[in-house]
Structure 1
Amino acid sequence: MRWLLCTALLALAACGQESAGEPVMRTEIGSGEADQAEALPEPAPTVASACRTIVFEEVSFTHCVADPKQHRIATDLGPDDGAPYRSLANLAAGRPAEAAPVAFAVNGGMFDEEGKPIGYYVEAGKRLKELNRNDGSGNFHLKPNGVFFGTGSRWQVRTAEDFYTNVGDRPEFGTQSGPMLVIGGNIHPEITENGPSRTIRNAVGVDAAGRAHFVQSAGAVSFGVLARLFRDELKTPNALYLDGSVSSLWDPASDRLDTRAPLGPLIVVETR
């Protein structure tokens, strides 16, 4: 009898031993949760896109928001001492590994045949092109045109004349384009309600909270619809047209990388 009791005790002890090399499961009574002694790797974080699809006056747009609390804005023409990128794909391929993550990037103003800006352009605090106050033809010279610029977390859109008169300090970034779409809450006087000129278009405006709204149409759209979108829906007191048929967007979070005609200056929104 005593021999049988010892045998049983030895069997119980053997059952309680843990197999070598296997993780130990520890469960708190009542918690319903079990944790392994060896921590599992953290899942890769999911980055939400700063862009979404909206519909205004039966036209579809991609609407991307840069928030000064979450983002930085910079202009980028091309590699240092190199030719312009000419595309968002080249920008993406040329980004150094240590660079801040890109929330999104868009074409950023009008340019010449070499891809160089035809208006005011500042990159990383360095002015590469002076303010263009000349008269001429085309959308750029449909005055007033304007400047999108900023330093740190303060971003603005102003008419070129307002910028010339009232902005004394050089910003960290700046790009001139035209025409202005909305000026002090009013639509540009030369923009008709729904004119005959239709193409893919993109633009930028800054709201009262300091957020920069970037919009690109999914298809051909008039200046009038685009201007009313910024005035009536996005509530930006000033908005600036960036360009037409070349309008392009890079949104890494949604794997979108537009490849259209060659581009010039680029606006890059980085995650802080």
Structure 2
Amino acid sequence: MIRAALAFLLLLPAVANACETLTYKSNDYTLCEVTLEDDLRLFHSDADGRLLGSFSRINAMLADSGQTLGFAMNAGMYHTDRSPVGLFVENGIERAPLADGGTYGNFGLKPNGVFCFSKDRLAVIETNAFRDARPACDYATQSGPMLVIDGALHPRFLLDATSRYIRNGVGVSADGTRAWFVISDNPVTFHEFGSLFRDHLKTPNALYFDGKVSRLFAPDLGRSDSGFPLGVIVGTVISR
């Protein structure tokens, strides 16, 4: 019986990262933690340039190589054709250029920023600082607004704000070895969402991905949100 149980466990996918639910100041969230040991990637289109747009289509693509998503969520704003609003780097190749943000919705609530990562570092960097430094990124997605900037909340986040949405974003540890991807499970304000990263997760920098359209794939929690096609998606890849 014990040998049979062990054999069954060996057949299960190796989940490299775990997602969990938490309650912080009366709001509910789901959080997925990623380290440099995880195979983290950004997805947008397949090899023929066709939009992926959903967790199921990414999994179908990965299945050809015996892989699957460990977790995933939408990772940045997009135009009506689902092309990225700002910078998008995939496998070291720039697919869309850095943008200043203009007045495009929440992206224009400056400062906005870039989530940039490679094999040796994860980072959330304010857009102007990114433009000046131009760090090398294996993958990068630009979004906005910044939630936390060098330990401070975005200056336009109001404690008494009334605008509430399901929101998602990412924050990175000070040493760049760990990232937390978070989606709210009930509508929250920008101030509440940013405070989770600054005060609970202690991330010196955090970036907003989106609201209203926010979705999560977390099979260890039995969750796979669906809906209309998304733009850039971030997720970990594991062997089946």
TM-score (norm 1): 0.80
Query: Among residues 154, 162, 168, which one is paired with 2:129 in the alignment?
Result: 162
The unaligned stretches of length 5 or more in structure 2 are none
- SS of the residue corresponding to residue 204 of structure 1 reads strand
Query: Among residues 41, 48, 52, which one is paired with 1:74 in the alignment?
Result: 41
Q: Would you say 1:104 and 2:62 are equivalent positions?
A: no
Q: CA deviation digits over 1:221-249, x for unaligned, max 9? A: 11010000000000000000000011111
- SS of the residue corresponding to residue 7 of structure 2 reads coil
Q: CA deviation digits over 1:10-47, x for unaligned, max 9? A: xxxxxxxxxxxxxxxxxxxxxxxxx9xxx868223355
Query: Among residues 50, 75, 100, which one is paired with 1:83 in the alignment?
Result: 50
Aligned residue pair count: 234
Q: How far does residue 95 in structure 1 lie from its aligned partner after superposition? A: 1.9
Partners of 2:19 and 2:30 in 1: how far apart? 6
User: Quick check: 2:86–2:101 contact (8 Å CA) kept in 1?
Assistant: no
User: Quick check: 1:196–1:222 contact (8 Å CA) kept in 2?
Assistant: yes
Query: Among residues 9, 22, 32, which one is paired with 1:54 in the alignment?
Result: 22
Q: How far does residue 99 in structure 1 lie from its aligned partner after superposition? A: 5.0
Query: What is the RMSD computed on CA atoms of the aligned residues?
Result: 2.1
Partner of 1:220: 187
Q: After TM superposition, where is structure 1 displaced by more than 3 Å over at least 4 residues in a row? A: 45-49
Map 1:165-244 onto structure 2 (within 5 A). 165-169=132-136, 171-209=137-175, 210-244=177-211
Partner of 1:149: 116
Partner of 2:233: 266
Partners of 2:68 and 2:92 in 1: how far apart? 21
Map 1:4-153 onto structure 2 (within 5 A). 42-45=7-10, 47=14, 50-69=18-37, 71-153=38-120
Q: How far does residue 87 in structure 1 lie from its aligned partner after superposition? A: 1.7
User: Quick check: 1:73–1:268 contact (8 Å CA) kept in 2?
Assistant: yes
TM-score (norm 2): 0.90
Partner of 2:214: 247
User: Quick check: 1:246–1:262 contact (8 Å CA) kept in 2?
Assistant: no
- SS of the residue corresponding to residue 235 of structure 2 reads strand
User: Quick check: 1:133–1:160 contact (8 Å CA) kept in 2?
Assistant: yes
Identify the structure with bigger relative contact order (alpha carbons < 8 Å, sequence gap 6+): 2
Partners of 1:233 and 1:271 in 2: how far apart? 28
Partners of 2:167 and 2:56 in 1: how far apart? 19
User: Quick check: 1:194–1:223 contact (8 Å CA) kept in 2?
Assistant: no
User: Bigger CA drift: 205-214 or 52-61?
Assistant: 205-214
Q: How far does residue 253 in structure 1 lie from its aligned partner after superposition? A: 2.6
User: Quick check: 2:67–2:237 contact (8 Å CA) kept in 1?
Assistant: yes
Partners of 1:250 and 1:151 in 2: how far apart? 22
